[in-house]
């Protein structure tokens, strides 16, 4: 799993790649948690993620609950979208096809 | 010169087809990417495939060589390409108007040379190789294009075979599900275990479990497969404190993993827990677990998981409906028993008193709770067969047990219920009805209810005989120990009878 971040228009964009599962969840939780706590709007770019499990999904929903208006998820590939649908979290999260759309939506 | 180029191209076709004709789907793709690497000299190679009706191409296979020194220990790509010794490109790339032209594309792993894979006019995907600069040497472009031509045919064929293989496996799973389900209809736990086993094998997961939400709102494990022995003990599934958090229905009614530490402690690498909802009400959790590295689910596996979870949800809903039907049906039989009791003054309250006595004896004998409940249910309706009898002929005594049994034996009740009703007129010494069973051949429920019936009748009296006192009843039961009654049941009865409320007017 890889994780890098950059700021676009005042929005912190976290890019995850690889598998987001239990073995990676503590690192992901720390990174997403720190970004949300920092106060700026946050977009998590899942473009490089090919698999996400319940632990990864739990982190995204927790982040959304903490900052419902300032958190979005972008670029989920089909397998990731399907996992979000199965856990019914696609109804909770703000999902966007591209990072640009997500940044536009959260930067207020 | 031209002839030599032609021969080279033919050789390359032969080489590509030969290396990629044998082995598994993954091995064949790896062989192609290896050839691409040899020909172009580029260490990072990726195969993207187009999906029908999609505006994206997805990463099917990757090979990345970190550097020349580690080339021998090349990290062979996995589907989707994660365990690579270098930057990982996106899992999907958008399709563009220029896709049929060889060009340099920007990826998360840097710029790469994308060479289209064309079968005739049909675009099926692209081979990406890198890293490259904007100006890729002509020889590299040419080498990639030469590999792409035969590769397109090989990939196309291999992919068709793979799709067919998956469809066949899927079909086999569905057939197997249908065939095996016939034998386990309405046995809920057996059914969910079966679904779980099938889901685990169809998705290639290591383990899984199904939890069903009880009347108290707490999910409990009803089936598990492949889990380590220390997984279930201490697993907290309570909605307020457990490893899962149920998002409220207003939030979409989702299921979230809350306690990472609890699953990490249990050696879980990845877990996908699907909530089962009946409308807005959570009814269960269908979870698949991977304990080893590399375990993850692709779209096909997720589709299968969705299908199995849906089957489990439907089954839970059906089982709950059926439980309600059984409750309603038993309620009707209890009403019939009450109506029969009311026909004569001396039988008022007969069924409830027999039930109190029989249940107390079952508890006194130390039977397990499920059997105690079965004895209670059988006692509540043991004489409803009388409703089908005309008059007072001797055959009534013989046949009413069979009639009553036929009214409950088709229900999915505890297996002790119907035999208890069927045998409550048998005698311990073999002189009873209808089959002359003796001793322990008479099911314990029948032995208990038979005694409870006689005790109730003696206490109530009838037009020809005054009611017995409790002392007289106990004496009579003891006199019949070993002949009509099982002595152990008599002993238990003499212990519990003095403490029971035997007033027919008492409401249960």
The model's pLDDT over B277-288, given as tens digits with 9 standing for 90+, comes to: 888 888 899 999
A47 chain-B contacts, CB cut-off 8 A: 90-92, 108
**B contact residues 36-55, partner A, Cβ 8 Å cutoff:** 51, 54
Instruction: For helices B350-364 and B369-380, give the axis angle rounded to 10 degrees.
Output: 160
* Residue A50 near chain B (CB below 8 Å): yes
What does the CA dihedral A56, A57, A60, A62 come to, rounded to 10 degrees?
Answer: -100
Q: Cα(A63)–Cα(A35) distance, rounded to whole angstroms? A: 9
For residue B45, the model assigns a pLDDT of 93
Which of B223, B206, B277, B448 has the alpha carbon at shortest distance from A87?
B277
Q: Can you tell me whether residue B167 is helix, strand or coil? A: helix
Residue-wise pLDDT tens digits, B405-436:
888 887 778 889 999 999 999 999 999 988 89
**Interchain CB contact of A33 with B (< 8 Å):** no
What pLDDT shows up at residue A56? 92
Would you place residue A22 in the very low, low, confident or very high pLDDT band (cuts 50, 70, 90)? confident
Q: What is the pLDDT of residues B355-386, one digit of tens each?
A: 999 999 999 999 999 999 999 999 999 988 87
**Residue A60: what are its φ and ψ, rounded to 5°?**
-65, -45
Residues 242-271 of B with CB under 8 A from A: 245, 247, 251-258, 260, 263-264, 268-271
Indicate the average pLDDT of chain B.
Answer: 83
What is the DSSP secondary structure assignment for residue B413, as one 8-state letter?
-
> What DSSP string runs through A49-70?
EEEE-HHHHHHHHHHHHHSTTS
- Stated as kind and residue range, the H or E segment containing B226 is none
As given in the structure block, the two tokens for residue B470 are 């409790």
pLDDT at residue B447, as a whole number? 97
Is a pLDDT exceeding 50 seen at residue B244? yes
SS3 letters for B32-76?
HHHHHHHHHCCCEEEEEEECCCCCEEEEEEEEECCCHHHHHHCEC
Residues of A with Cβ-Cβ distance to B268 under 8 angstroms: 22
Mutate to test the interface with A, among B249, B257, B300, B305 (most CBs of A within 10 A): B257
**Each residue's pLDDT tens digit, B457-496:** 999 988 888 999 999 999 999 999 999 999 999 999 999 9
Residue of higher predicted confidence among B146 and B412 = B146
Least confident of B72-86, B97-111, B374-388: B72-86
> Given an 8 Å threshold on Cβ–Cβ distance, is A55 in contact with B309?
no
User: B43 near B67, Cβ under 8 Å?
Assistant: yes
pLDDT-wise least confident of B92-96, B159-163, B286-290, B362-366: B159-163
Instruction: Determine which of A3-17, B114-128, B144-158, B363-377 has the lowest per-residue pLDDT on average.
Output: B144-158
Between B19-23, B181-185, B430-434, the lowest mean confidence (pLDDT) is in B181-185
Q: At what angle do helices B369-380 and B299-341 cross, to 10 degrees?
A: 50
Hey, of A17, A22, A30, A91, which one would you mutate to test binding to chain B, going by the most B CBs within 10 A of its CB?
A22
pLDDT computed for residue B153 by the predictor: 85
Farthest CA pair distance, chain B: 124
- Six-digit token string for A7: 């700021």
Residues B250-264: what's their mean pLDDT? 80
Tell me the shortest Cα–Cα distance from B377 to chain A, in angstroms.
40
Q: Is the pLDDT of residue B120 over 90?
A: no
Query: Which residues of A are less than 8 Å from B293 in CB distance?
Result: 23
pLDDT at residue number B24: 76
Contacts of A57 in chain B (CB under 8 A): 256-257
pLDDT at B296: 66
What mean pLDDT is predicted for residues A48-59? 91
Residue of B nearest to A20 (CA): B270
Instruction: For chain B, positions 137-156, list CB contacts with chain A under 8 A.
Output: none
The pLDDT of residue A96 is 96
Cβ-nearest to B305 among A19, A61, A86: A86
- Which residues of A are less than 8 Å from B80 in CB distance? 50-51
Mean pLDDT, residues B126-149: 90
Confidence label for B395 from pLDDT (cuts 50, 70 and 90): low
CA distance A55 to chain B (A): 5
Please check whether residue A37 touches B, CB under 8 A: no
Is B88 in contact with A23 (Cβ distance < 8 A)?
no
CA distances in angstroms from B239 to A29, B140, B214, B217, B293, listed in the order given: 21, 59, 12, 8, 29
Confidence tier at B73 by pLDDT (50, 70, 90): very low
Paired tokens of B424: 């409550």
pLDDT score of B76 more than 60:
no
pLDDT score, position B185:
40
User: What would the mean pLDDT of A57-78 be, rounded to a whole number?
Assistant: 93
pLDDT value of residue B69: 37
Query: What's the whole-number mean pLDDT along residues B19-45?
Result: 83
Least-confidence region, from A57-71, B155-169, B403-417, B446-460: B155-169
Rounded to whole angstroms, the Cα distance separating B96 from B128 reads 15
Gap from B97 CA to chain A (nearest CA, Å): 19
Q: Residue B320 pLDDT more than 60?
A: yes
Q: Is residue B507 very low, low, confident or very high in pLDDT (cuts 50, 70, 90)?
A: low
Residue B79 pLDDT > 50: no
**What would the DSSP string read from start to end of B228-287?**
-TTTSTT----TTTSSEEEPPGGGT--EEE--HHHHHHTT-SEEEEEEEEETTEEEEEEE
CB nearest B273 (choices: A18, A19, A54): A54
B62 token code pair: 């990757």
In this model, does residue B172 exceed pLDDT 80? Answer: no
- Per-residue pLDDT tens digits for B51-67: 877 788 988 888 887 65
Find chain A residues with C-beta within 8 A of B242's C-beta.
none
Question: Picking from B27-31, B115-119, B241-245, B422-426, which range would have the lowest pLDDT averaged per residue?
Answer: B27-31
Q: Is residue B328 predicted with pLDDT exceeding 50?
A: yes
**A30 at the B interface (CB within 8 A)?**
no
**Residue B354: its pLDDT value, please?**
96
**Nearest CA-CA distance, residue B207 and chain A, Å:** 14
Tell me the residues of chain B between 226 and 245 that have a Cβ less than 8 Å away from chain A. 245
Per DSSP, the three-state class of A105 is helix
Which tokens belong to B294? 């590399």
pLDDT in tens, B220-238: 998 899 998 888 888 889 8
Q: Is the pLDDT of residue B74 over 50?
A: no
Above 80 in pLDDT, residue B70?
no
ipTM of the shown complex: 0.88
What is the distance in angstroms between the Cα of A83 and the nearest Cα belonging to chain B? 7
Query: Closest Cα of chain A to B142: distance in Å?
Result: 29
How far B162 CA sits from the closest chain A CA (Å)?
18
d(CA B453, CA B101): 91
- Which residues 299-328 of chain B have a CB within 8 Å of chain A? 299, 302-303, 305-306, 309
Q: Give me the phi and psi of B500, to 5 degrees please.
A: -95, 150
Does the pLDDT of residue B46 top 80, yes or no? yes
């Amino acid at each position: 799993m890889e994780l890098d971040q950059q700021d676009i228009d005042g929005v912190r964009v976290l890019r995850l790649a690889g598998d987001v599962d239990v073995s990676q969840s503590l690192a992901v939780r720390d990174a997403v948690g720190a970004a949300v706590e920092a106060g700026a709007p946050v977009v998590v770019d899942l473009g490089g993620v090919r698999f996400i499990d319940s632990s990864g999904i739990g982190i995204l929903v927790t982040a959304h609950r903490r900052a419902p208006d300032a958190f979005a998820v972008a670029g989920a590939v089909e397998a990731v979208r399907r996992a979000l649908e199965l856990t019914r979290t696609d109804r909770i999260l703000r999902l966007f096809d591209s990072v640009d759309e997500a940044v536009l939506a959260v930067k207020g | 010169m031209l002839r030599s180029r032609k021969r080279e191209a033919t050789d390359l076709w032969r080489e590509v087809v030969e290396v990629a004709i044998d082995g598994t789907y993954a091995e064949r793709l790896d062989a192609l990417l290896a050839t691409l690497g040899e020909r172009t000299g580029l260490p990072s190679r990726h195969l993207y495939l187009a999906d029908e009706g999609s505006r994206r191409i997805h990463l099917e296979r990757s090979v990345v060589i970190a550097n020349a020194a580690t080339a021998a220990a090349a990290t062979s790509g996995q589907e989707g390409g994660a365990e690579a010794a270098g930057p990982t490109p996106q899992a999907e790339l958008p399709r563009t108007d220029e896709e049929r032209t060889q060009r340099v594309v920007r990826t998360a792993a840097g710029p790469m040379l994308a060479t289209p894979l064309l079968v005739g006019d049909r675009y099926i995907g692209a081979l990406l190789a890198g890293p490259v600069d904007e100006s890729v040497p002509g020889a590299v472009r040419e080498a990639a294009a030469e590999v792409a031509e035969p590769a397109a045919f090989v990939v196309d064929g291999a992919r068709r075979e793979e799709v067919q293989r998956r469809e066949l496996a899927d079909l086999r799973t569905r057939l197997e599900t249908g065939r095996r389900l016939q034998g386990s209809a309405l046995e809920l736990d057996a059914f969910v275990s079966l679904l779980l086993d099938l889901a685990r094998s169809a998705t290639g997961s290591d383990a899984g479990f199904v939890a069903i939400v009880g009347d108290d709102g707490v999910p409990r494990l009803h089936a598990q497969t492949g889990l380590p022995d220390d997984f279930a003990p201490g697993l907290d599934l309570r909605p307020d404190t457990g490893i899962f958090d149920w998002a409220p229905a207003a939030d979409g009614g989702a299921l979230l993993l809350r306690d990472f530490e609890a699953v990490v402690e249990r050696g879980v690498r990845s877990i996908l827990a699907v909530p089962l909802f009946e409308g807005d009400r959570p009814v269960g959790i269908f979870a698949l677990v991977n304990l080893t590295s590399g375990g993850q689910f692709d779209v096909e596996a997720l589709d299968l998981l969705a299908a199995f979870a849906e089957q489990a949800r439907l089954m839970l809903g059906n089982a709950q409906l059926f439980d309600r039907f059984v409750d309603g049906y038993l309620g009707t039989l209890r009403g019939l028993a009450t109506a029969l009791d009311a026909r004569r003054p001396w039988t008022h309250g007969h069924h409830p008193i027999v039930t109190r006595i029989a249940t107390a004896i079952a508890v006194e004998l130390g039977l397990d709770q499920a059997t105690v409940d079965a004895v209670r249910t059988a006692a509540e309706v043991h004489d409803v067969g009388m409703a089908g009898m005309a008059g007072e002929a001797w055959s009534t005594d013989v046949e009413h047990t069979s009639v009553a049994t036929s009214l409950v034996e088709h229900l999915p009740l505890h297996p002790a219920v119907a035999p208890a009703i069927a045998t409550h007129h048998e005698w311990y010494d073999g002189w009873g009805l209808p089959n002359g069973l003796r001793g322990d051949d008479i099911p314990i429920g029948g032995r208990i209810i038979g005694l409870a019936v006689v005790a109730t009748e003696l206490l109530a009296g009838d037009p020809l005989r005054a009611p017995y006192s409790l002392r007289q009843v106990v004496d009579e039961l003891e006199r019949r120990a070993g002949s009509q009654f099982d002595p152990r049941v008599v002993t238990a009865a003499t212990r519990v009878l003095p403490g029971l409320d035997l007033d027919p007017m008492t409401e249960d």
